[in-house]
């Protein structure tokens, strides 16, 4: 190798010796740029080959609790509670008086939620009440960028069914091709997928119970890091999807209620003021464009009857908390369904 003012001779033993590093440093810049370009092309070829293998030789998704829950929807199903993993952990369908089904996925944003709900309603014609979760997560998170399309497929939904403009559809496809595989959010999702609490028996029940108790300082810090990594700035498409959902349900004659689920006190320390402002603006838009009024918003976010040991982490209930909360929510759900039934009876009576 030729240096700037002398001939460099590589050391006989060891590649990364000080002599060899000094010789490489003296190489012309153009030659080092070629080396970098060669390495970059090699990485792209390897990554592209892995992605092609993933496309052509991917195994079909296993049957899991969501696909089983979807099959369990029937003409007897009267109540659907729809949302993110907050619903998955907090709502126990077997506690409710009326036939109830929880429909959820991790980081399920409102655009994806709209498609999942429409698919579920096709299988449950007798639904009288739909309870929609209202939270920062479905407003700020992009479900496909965070989790891919596997959980949508579990509900029988393809990303092609999402109501997106061409630019958003292109971004969604790019996210799907190589979604954040090495970011903190993806590593977090991989760890969550290996959660030993998610046994088939528990999943078949339509919710995921937990015996874990919140570690306030650690759980809140991890959640803040995740939110900072995956929250997006533009929420307009998701706001419009939420409004379309409510308008579509009202057109079907189905009652709609908005639900904010309980959060541990440590959760509020990580909340940014702009998130709360955006949520308030979203509720104002809903009141302006739908028949949902202030009394139709069930806010349990700071539920005093729950204690620290009822939480799994900063934003999820554990098994004990889910039982308490489901009994509490059932009272309100039962009242709404009964009221609707009495109204229908009065309309038919001569």
- Judged against a pLDDT cut of 80, whether residue 96 lies above it is answered with yes
Based on the fold, state whether residues 41 and 166 are members of the same structural domain: no
Based on the fold, state whether residues 207 and 250 are members of the same structural domain: yes
Domain that holds residue 7: 1-58
Based on the fold, state whether residues 124 and 36 are members of the same structural domain: no
Band of residue 59 on the pLDDT scale cut at 50, 70, 90: very low
Into how many domains does the chain fold?
2
Residue 216: count other Cβ atoms within 10 Å of its Cβ: 17
- CB of 259 closer than 8 Å to CB of 81: yes
At residue 261, the pLDDT reads: 97
Question: Which ranges of the chain would DSSP assign to H, the alpha helix?
Answer: 18-25, 29-57, 65-72, 85-90, 110-123, 136-140, 143-147, 150-154, 166-177, 184-193, 200-204, 216-230, 236-251, 273-289, 319-348
Based on the fold, state whether residues 16 and 120 are members of the same structural domain: no
pLDDT tens digits for range 256-291: 999 999 999 999 999 999 999 999 999 999 999 999
Task: For the chain, state the CA radius of gyration.
Answer: 26
At residue 57, the pLDDT reads: 52
Tokens representing 170 are 């292109």
Based on the fold, state whether residues 179 and 207 are members of the same structural domain: yes
Based on the fold, state whether residues 171 and 304 are members of the same structural domain: yes
Tokens representing 135 are 């939270």
Based on the fold, state whether residues 191 and 292 are members of the same structural domain: yes
Based on the fold, state whether residues 153 and 43 are members of the same structural domain: no
Based on the fold, state whether residues 50 and 133 are members of the same structural domain: no
- Judged against a pLDDT cut of 70, whether residue 311 lies above it is answered with yes
pLDDT tens digits for range 128-186: 999 999 999 999 998 887 777 777 777 778 777 888 777 766 766 666 655 444 444 44
């Amino acid at each position: 190798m030729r240096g700037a003012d002398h001939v460099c001779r590589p050391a006989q033993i060891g590649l990364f010796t000080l002599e060899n590093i000094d010789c490489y440093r003296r190489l012309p810049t153009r030659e080092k740029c070629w080396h970098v370009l060669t390495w970059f092309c090699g990485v792209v070829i390897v990554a592209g080959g892995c992605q092609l293998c993933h496309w052509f030789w991917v195994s079909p998704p296993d049957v899991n609790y969501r696909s089983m829950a979807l099959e369990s929807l029937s003409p007897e199903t009267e109540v659907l509670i729809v949302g993110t993993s907050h619903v998955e952990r907090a709502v126990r369908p077997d506690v409710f008086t009326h036939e109830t089904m929880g429909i959820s996925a991790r980081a399920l944003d409102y655009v994806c939620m709209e498609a999942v709900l429409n698919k579920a309603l096709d299988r449950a014609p007798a639904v009288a009440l739909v309870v929609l979760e209202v939270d920062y997560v479905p407003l700020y998170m992009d479900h496909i960028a965070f989790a891919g399309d596997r959980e949508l497929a579990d509900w029988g939904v393809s990303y092609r069914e999402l109501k997106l403009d061409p630019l958003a559809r292109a971004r969604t496809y790019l996210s799907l091709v190589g979604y954040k595989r090495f970011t903190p959010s993806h590593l977090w999702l991989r760890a969550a997928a290996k959660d030993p609490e998610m046994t088939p028996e528990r999943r078949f029940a339509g919710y995921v119970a937990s015996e874990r108790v919140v570690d306030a300082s650690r759980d809140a810090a991890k959640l803040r890091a995740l939110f900072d990594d995956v929250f997006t700035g533009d929420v307009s498409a998701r706001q419009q999807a939420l409004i379309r959902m409510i308008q579509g349900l009202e057109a079907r004659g189905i009652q709609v209620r908005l639900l904010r689920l309980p959060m541990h006190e440590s959760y509020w320390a990580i909340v940014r003021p702009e998130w709360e402002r955006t949520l308030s603006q979203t509720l104002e838009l809903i009141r302006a464009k739908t028949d949902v009024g202030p009394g139709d918003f069930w806010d349990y976010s700071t539920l005093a009857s729950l204690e620290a040991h009822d939480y799994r982490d900063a934003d999820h209930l554990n098994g004990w908390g889910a039982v308490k909360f489901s009994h509490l929510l059932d009272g309100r759900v039962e009242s709404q369904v009964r009221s609707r039934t009495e109204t229908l009876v009065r309309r038919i009576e001569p």
